[in-house]
Amino acid sequence: MSIQEFKDCDDMKIRVWVDNGHYFPEVMAARPDHLKELQSWETRHDDVLVCTYPKSGTLWLWDIVSLLISNQSEVLDRVFDTSNLELNGTEKLDELQSPRVLQSHMTPHFLPKSIIQKKNKIIYGIRNPRDVAVSMYHFMLKLHDSWSSYKGSWDNFLKLFQTGTLGYGSWYEHVKGWEELQLNKEHPVLFVSYEDLHRDCFKEVKKISEFLDLSRTDDTIHGIVKNTQFDNFKAEKLKSVGHKLTAISKDGKDPYFRKGIVGDWKNTLSDEQSEEFEQTIVQKQGKSNLIRRYTKGHQLV
Active site residue ranges: 105
How many Cα atoms within 13 Å fall on the side-chain side of residue 166? 28
* 3-class SS of residue 103: strand
Closest to 75 in 3D by CA, of 226, 299, 255, 267 = 226
Beta bridge partners of 14: 6
Task: Give the torsion through C-alpha atoms of 20, 24, 25, 26, to 10 deg.
Answer: 0
CB 69 within 8 A of CB 212: yes
* 3-class SS of residue 37: helix
Q: What are phi and psi of 203, to 5 degrees?
A: -60, -45
